[in-house]
Structure 1
């Protein structure tokens, strides 16, 4: 009898646990989303209706897959409907503030500059969005931290991106560019002109630059790390742009296991670089002027200062954290500049007048000499061209934040645990902000500076804004100016007839079918 009673109790407990789990799942997948939808509609925010489990994901993926199967009919800068057709459709339908659904989570799209500025300034409430552990491992370090840890890492890393430090890396930038240009000269040696897809070479160039500038090594030494990071990026992009059962990405599936293997191999390679540098420091060698050397020196100084003040809290970065920051150097420093450069070459190939003006400025400033830092600061035409390329083809087309409590933003009330998207691509071409020519390539709009071009609005933010603005902005712009300068000194170029205009968003905005360009030796 006692045995039966125990079994009955166990059955009751199992039933209660099952019911409790069922209630939690029902709340997560239906009750809470419907409450959030009602909350948003009550204040007048438009959006799509919540569909159980998947939300709008099926429609989003279906529209995107269909759009990417064919290139654009003509060379136009109105490509948002190709890369994100669902987002484009809703922006036309609902306006500058609306919500959609990623599974059971509301995603609120905001394209009003004043609200974007307020959100980016309020780091406490609007935190970096956490998409998944896999995505966070691809972009570790400073970009994923919050609060005190973010502040400490930013303080340690800042010295590596000071202007004086960038000057010391100038030769590394120029050496990498010279190698690419030598290769191009060999391509056109016989006929003084030749066609090639510059996209692979641009990616190799920026990989080489970040290897030399960050680690003092050539591309060959860092090539394996880049190959592994490239495969990781492709895996993550595939996971993001495919429908899966919620929680699937957390399981030990084949793609997740492959990502982990890549992660381990990358860490081993970077750890070897750091250990070698530590040995050099312990041997009394002078601190190298590359990013890794400056980072390790700054970290060591931070630890020494804390020890001198008898500070008991954890200070400085651990070895694992230094590895994370190195990975971020590699990926973010490489991808951002490569996309900026390739779109710049494509647009200057289409706009020969601006290419000629930029070349004239470069020749007047440097002649045939290697660029120097002071001269780069006086390149006004080159600078406004790069700004206009960043406006029309921002490397990151939208930025995201996450809120963890009910939060007010301007007159909006945002429900807890919402994901907030700030579509850079929409704000950058908003006709109300930029004029009727917002979709046209007109670098002259920046001739009197960013503030004048934006009329004081926060409508230009390719590197973000506020306290978390990209720490590598000056690094990327310096590298782009050097590369463009050295290319313009040696070639004039035009788009090949085989070029197909087909922008695609693979974490960063890229030309889907490459960038075939005809180079002509000057």
Structure 2
């Protein structure tokens, strides 16, 4: 029998060599191979830097690195998030090929631990059969009559917010936080109905949880709040069970979908309303046009679902706001195996970074005034504005993974804008500092400050 110390030493050395091999494979050999492979096909990019890739350049505000690298390396280029290769795609035909794919060639990119902890395994994060099943169950909730039934609850929430606005007559108000609270209220009421207060308590926990993750984004544990607080809450009482296995959803699945609905819904509505109000506060001519349309359709009455489709001016304004400030600024997929994308052959496990923020502001698609707020672009259908190029405008994605809640967000935004425009004129505040940042979604770092001017002295629409 050999010397045990020698055997142990040999084993330790073997383990260390194995770890070193895997480390070098991930952070050196594979990146160098991928950079060479794609470079030979004409895809350039910033040089790979050992271990951290190009991450340092990505820590600035709202994708400035992308614009710099596009100018240096072209519209499709390779960069590195640590040791992970990431291919930027901005050509609409390639984008459509990726996002419309139904053969499983492109999956969602692996999400960070902290994001999975926050969102769970809901529609936004799941794959395969689970995603298909949940999508079929949840999608109808945001369509047709089901969506119309939510509108009265939306109106109640907006009325409560506007009551609190009376003290801001001719004063500055920061509307981004107002819209965050409003979105929380709307989602609590529409998701939980008569159990609104119980739902609001759970969503308050989710807000705390989200804030903890923002503060401790790279830490493995989140002190002060455990997920079990949500798991053990009254939400369990609303678990839906069905004798049909295709319609059955487990308690944990329901919790995860509630997380998705709350986080994605709240952040999306807040982002959409904040940027739209800012644009209307700056471009008061369009604010006046929108108000004229609202008064013509609804007078001083609360909006009716049947007339929302007649809001042509407000629809154009919302579409243009979503073009300039899409809530989600990028969609990230990964190649499941070696695939052909257009003229390129991509190795397996390459992240595909598809930024609608970049495409929406591309002068080659939208003209030299692509950076300007011009709602008249959408005077016809969206297809006309994009010359029938479906991948030229996709604020909520395209293809099978289009956000199921986009109708909920846009209808909610219309209700809010109608009721604000009936009561107030608002102008741009000189204290506003333009600083859009990515904080899950695209948000104003320092809020949106506007000056409110009341249009009436009575209680307003009824």
Band the TM-score falls in, shorter-chain normalisation? over 0.9
Cα distance change on mapping 1:60 and 1:333 into 2, 3 Å: closer
Equivalent of 2:336, from 397, 404, 410? 404
2:255 to 323, 326, 343: 323
Separation of aligned partners in 2, 1:448 and 1:85: 32
Q: Residues of 2 paired with 1:498 and 1:363: CA distance?
A: 30
- The answer to whether residue 272 in structure 2 is matched with residue 274 in structure 1 is no
Matching residue of 1:464: 397
User: TM-score by structure 2 length?
Assistant: 0.93
Indicate conservation of the 8 Å contact 1:428/1:459, yes or no: yes
CA positional deviation for 1:422: 0.4
341 and 469 in structure 1: CA distance in 2 versus 1, 3 angstrom threshold: same
Question: Equivalent residue of 1:493, what SS?
Answer: strand
* Contact 1:57 1:103 (C-alpha < 8 Å) held by counterparts: yes
Separation of aligned partners in 2, 1:266 and 1:453: 44
Residue 203 (str. 1) matches residue 135 (str. 2): no
Flag the 1:454–1:237 CA change in 2: closer, same or farther, 3 A: farther
Distance in 1 (CA, whole Å) between partners of 2:64 and 2:39 is 23
1:115 counterpart residue number = 94
Deviation of the 1:320 alpha carbon: 0.6
- How far apart, in 1, do the equivalents of 2:78 and 2:399 lie? 24
Partners of 1:434 and 1:237 in 2: CA distance: 35
Structure 2 Cα separation of the partners of residues 228 and 91 of structure 1: 41
Q: Distance in 1 between matches of 2:99 and 2:213?
A: 26
Query: Which whole-Å CA distance do the structure 1 matches of 2:96 and 2:223 have between them?
Result: 35
User: 1:42 corresponds to which residue?
Assistant: 40
Deviation at 1:381, TM superposition (A): 0.5
- Structure 2 residues not aligned, in runs of 5+: 456-462
How many angstroms does 1:96 deviate by? Answer: 1.2
State the Cα deviation string for residues 44-70 of structure 1 (Å, max 9, x = none).
101111111111123333xx1xxxxxx
Pick one of 408, 422, 431 that aligns with 1:498: 431
Superposed CA offset, 1:286-340 (max 9, x none): xxxxxxxxxx3xxx4xx4234xxxxxxx862211111100111111111101110
Q: Take 2:146 and 2:400, find their aligned partners in 1: how far apart are those partners? A: 21
In structure 2, what is the Cα distance between the partners aligned to 1:268 and 1:26?
44
Change (3 A) 1:195 1:235: same
Distance 1:217 1:426, change over 3 A: farther
User: Residue 108 of structure 1 contacts residue 419 of structure 1 at CA under 8 Å; is this kept in 2?
Assistant: yes
The residue aligned with 1:442 is 374
Identify unmatched segments of 5+ residues in structure 1.
65-81, 241-248, 250-254, 279-295, 307-313
Two-structure CA RMSD over aligned residues (Å): 1.9
Question: Is the partner of 2:47 in helix, strand or coil?
Answer: coil
CA distance in 1, matches of 2:322, 2:90: 17
Superposed, 1:154-169 pairs within 5 Å as 154-169=135-150
> What displacement does 1:273 show?
2.7
Q: Deviations over 1:253-299 (max 9, x none)?
A: xx432169342323333xx1331x46xxxxxxxxxxxxxxxxx3xxx
How many residue pairs match? The answer is 452
Does 212-221 or 173-182 show the bigger shift? 212-221
For residue 408 of structure 1, give the secondary structure of its aligned residue in structure 2.
strand
Mapping 1:32-431, distance limit 5 Å: 32-61=30-59, 64=60, 82-123=61-102, 124-140=104-120, 141-188=122-169, 193-216=170-193, 221-237=198-214, 255-258=219-222, 261-269=225-233, 272-275=234-237, 277=238, 296=240, 300=241, 303-306=242-245, 316-431=248-363
Q: Deviations over 1:355-398 (max 9, x none)?
A: 01100000111111110111111100000100000000101111
TM-score relative to the length of structure 1: 0.83
Specify the alignment match of 1:291 in structure 2. none
Stretch deviating more after TM superposition (420-429 or 52-61): 52-61
Deviates most, 401-410 or 213-222: 213-222
Greater shift, 151-160 or 470-479, is seen at: 151-160
Maintained 8 Å contact 1:402/1:420: yes
Is 455-464 or 129-138 further displaced after alignment?
A: 129-138
CA distance in 2, matches of 1:88, 1:323: 39
TM-aligned CA deviation for residue 498 of structure 1? 1.1
Match of 2:419 among 464, 467, 486: 486
* Cα separation, 2, equivalents of 1:196 and 1:220: 27
